Amino acid sequence: MKNKRRILANADIAEIILAPPDGHQHLRATIKLHTGEEIILQEATVANLVRAYVGVKTHPKRRSYRLVGQELTEKQRKKGFADWQLLEKES
């Protein structure tokens, strides 16, 4: 069985580029690995990761932050937001 968990260390990363692709306005983070693989994160994904990171690092007692993907109805989501959101859940 193939391992489904992968830990990326700084030593695994050849380069990170944060920029909008040509013709787009939203940022993408492209993580290029020494193996030649590329991991591309959309702006909303990076924003959620940063929000969770800051939430843990700046809170005096909080030790974890859990975001779970959920599809929202038009009534549930904020105007202009995507159907699929990463929402905070108890960890």
Q: Is 31 left (phi over 0), alpha (psi -120 to 50) or beta?
A: beta
pLDDT in tens, 45-82: 999 999 999 999 999 999 999 999 999 998 998 888 88
Band of residue 1 on the pLDDT scale cut at 50, 70, 90: low
The answer to whether the beta carbons of residues 17 and 30 sit under 8 Å apart is: yes
Q: Which of 32, 37, 38, 35 is nearest to 15 (CA)?
A: 32
In this prediction the pTM is 0.82
How many of the other CB atoms lie within 10 Å of CB of 32? 15
Q: What is d(CA 76, CA 16) in angstroms, rounded to the nearest whole number?
A: 34
